Amino acid sequence: MSVDIKLPEGAPEEVVTQALVRDVDLRAFGATGTLALITLDNGHDHNRPNTFGPQSLLALDAAITEATSRNPVAIAITGKPFIFAAGADLSALSFITNREQSLAIGKLGHDVFRRLGESKIPTFAFINGLALGGGLEVGLHCHYRTLASTAFTALPEVFLGLVPGWGGATILPKLIGPERAIQVIMLNALNNNTMMKSKDALKLGVVDVVFEPSDFLERSIAFAAAVLNGKTVLERKDYSSDPAWDSALATGKAAALKKYGGAEIASPLKALELISSAKTNTLGQGFDAEDIALADLTMSDPLRASLYAFNVIQKKRKKVEGAPKPALARKVGKVGVVGAGLMASQLALLLLRNLKCPIVMTDIDQERADKGVAWVKNELAKLVEKKRMSAETAGRLSLLISGSSDQSVFAGCDFIIEAIFEELSLKQELFRKLETIVSPECVLATNTSSLSVEHMGEGLKNPERVVGFHFFNPVAVMPLLEVARTSKTDDATTATAISVGKELKKTMIICKDAPGFVVNRLLTRFMGEITDAVDEGTPVDVADNAMRSIGFPMSPFQLLDLVGPGVALHVSEVLHANLGERYRISPTMAAMVKSGIRNFYIKSEDGTVSVNPAALELIHKGDSPSTAEQVRNRALTALAVEARMMLDEGVVSTAAEIDLCMLMGAGWPMHLGGILPYLDREGISDSACGHSFHPKGVASLP
């Protein structure tokens, strides 16, 4: 095949995945003839997975031609150690400005992969490791698939603003039926890109058999031999008349609408169209439809935005901006958690599971400390019940967690994190007492969401070991961790905090010790504009739904219910005191807290959600209502102004770090590409600040 697809100007050079062919004599496996085995290998270690750009696709095409010329009885494809293929090389997509070029890339992938499906001799995919997107799709084109028990597979395209565009949206519904195809293509992707474990892929019918990695290739070849000599026969079901098509598609659409707060986002809708068409389309018709859908999405801002967001997350997950040298980090062999409430207990569990070192919890009395320890042990037991942890592991970890009312148990700790009531004087008193118990090198970390970390260290002999370590709730689920340095925090303390955060598998940013850090400062400013609009007389439904069209998973007042009015009011008060009148105290929120009303929305027995009448009664009724468009503009303008101030103040050093925080800590939708690219595209950055946050073409069409 001769195809000339040049990479767009400015795009990074493709790392070519070579396809190497060798013959395997099948006589030792009980069959006659040879199997032509193609191995994908980009020449890098397992940290750089195999991917498919134009040159890699042409290399695979040449390998299929070579394999066929050897007259084998079957062709198989596998990957380098630990990696099958991670799909399309997306690095050049954001540079494409020509729709015809996008169509050509889609068609090239189909033309190469379909040779395996249309082969007159049997084809096998020996999926020996990670297989994502196009990596799984090349396997779907093969007639049979084996999978290593340690491998993860997924079609993450909808999560990234794409569709499975190299056969997945057409082949998979035909192979496993509409309900299971919706699970893999839609539900898994929309659930933060959930990957299938080997047992899941086998149960769903995505693969035919699973083998252990120790002898995976040998057993896969033996499986192929058994198919070839007739000892193993696999039947494929025809799903064209399956009665579940309509209900499955309805499930997929409902999931997409829920994910994006009712907004109709292009990529999931396109995926649903392709899945629906797979019921009657031939494979060729389906592949043509995938090419068109892929080209349409490629030439759209939501895809560019999603790729920008994805790349920011991946980059910052690997390297923390401004982090000291890792060698400066001190060894952490014992950890203290001050507090035994829900947040503190979640922290203890996370630390225990990942650091696997002694964790000591304290509270004001033994009963409360015991309750926190019991909660942690109960959560370990639940993991055993769900088969996510062995009983032996849970037993070992249970021996490492203890609780006390006596803070002297913190002696010997290398790292202590406090999660007590948000009162500065209490935290100052705590740190002063801890300093008399622990060594001068022990890190004193605070999980405060808004208070001054520097003030907490005032009067200490060693204020350089105090650092902000702000998690988001729920601790185990939310990926972001804000590490706040004071003017006195030293590099060794910061490096130790970053080291612990990496062990906890968190995505981190280092920020200046400023009120609200990053996420709470921006969210509180944003929420304040919504509550102000309501206090001024804007109907609740108008203000609360003003942002629905852009795809937030929940409205501002739903978020308020999740956070709790008490916490929201406290943060507002702290920011008001430190940053001034732009952080106004909502009389409605103050009245809700004073009256003990915890929810703005209530759910009836039949599941209907409505505004809590008791909360409505407390709304400060102004006489200056706004339209939804006015509410939306004022909220977004406030975000732009606040973000500009934060960058000017050095709260973080780059706009990308703000984007990361809002993506990972506030659920800002991926298809918007982060808060600042969205404000740039909408023209709000220019109107509010006089210029954009990012260069033109970042997270949008050039």
- E strands, 514-619, are 601-603, 609-611
- Preceding peptide of 440 cis, ω within 30°: no
Sign of CA dihedral 449, 676, 316, 301: positive
SS (HEC) of 652-673: CCCHHHHHHHHHHHCCCCHHHC
Q: What stretch of H or E contains 79?
A: strand 74-79
Residue 12, CA distances (Å) to 107, 390, 622, 699 in order: 22, 44, 55, 16
Is position 157 annotated as part of the catalytic site? yes
**Cα 599 to Cα 562: distance, rounded to the nearest angstrom:** 8
* 467 within 8 A of 415, measured Cβ to Cβ: no
Is position 392 annotated as part of the catalytic site? no
Residue 150: CB atoms within 10 Å:
16
* 414 within 8 A of 330, measured Cβ to Cβ: yes
**Cα 86 to Cα 7: distance, rounded to the nearest angstrom:** 19
Token code pair at residue 436: 């008399």
**Cα 13 to Cα 518: distance, rounded to the nearest angstrom:** 35
The backbone torsions φ and ψ at residue 260, rounded to the nearest 5 degrees and listed phi first, read -110, 25
> Residues for the chain: how many in total?
702
Instruction: Give the DSSP letter string of 148-186.
Output: ETT--EE--GGGGT---TTTHHHHHHHHH-HHHHHIIII
DSSP 329: P
Instruction: Give the DSSP letter string of 186-217.
Output: IIHHHTTSPPBPHHHHHHHTSSSEEE-GGGHH
**Cα 344 to Cα 570: distance, rounded to the nearest angstrom:** 19
- From the list 100, 157, 218, 657, the catalytic residue is 157
Residue 203: CB atoms within 10 Å:
13
**Cα 343 to Cα 694: distance, rounded to the nearest angstrom:** 36
**Cα 476 to Cα 348: distance, rounded to the nearest angstrom:** 11
Token code pair at residue 466: 């105090």
DSSP, collapsed to helix, strand or coil, labels residue 335 as strand
Residue 175, CA distances (Å) to 129, 212, 236, 299, 481 in order: 21, 24, 7, 30, 41
Token code pair at residue 499: 């080291």
Q: Which amino acid is at 429?
A: E
* 556 within 8 A of 527, measured Cβ to Cβ: yes
Q: Give per-residue burial for 354-393: e unless 16+ CB within 10 Å, then b.
A: ebebbbbbbbeeeebbbbbbebbbebbeebeeeeebeeee
The backbone torsions φ and ψ at residue 603, rounded to the nearest 5 degrees and listed phi first, read -115, 130
Residue 261: CB atoms within 10 Å:
18
Dihedral in degrees, nearest 10, Cα atoms 375, 380, 385, 388: 140
- From the list 137, 418, 435, 454, the catalytic residue is 137
DSSP, collapsed to helix, strand or coil, labels residue 76 as strand
Residues labelled catalytic: 137, 157
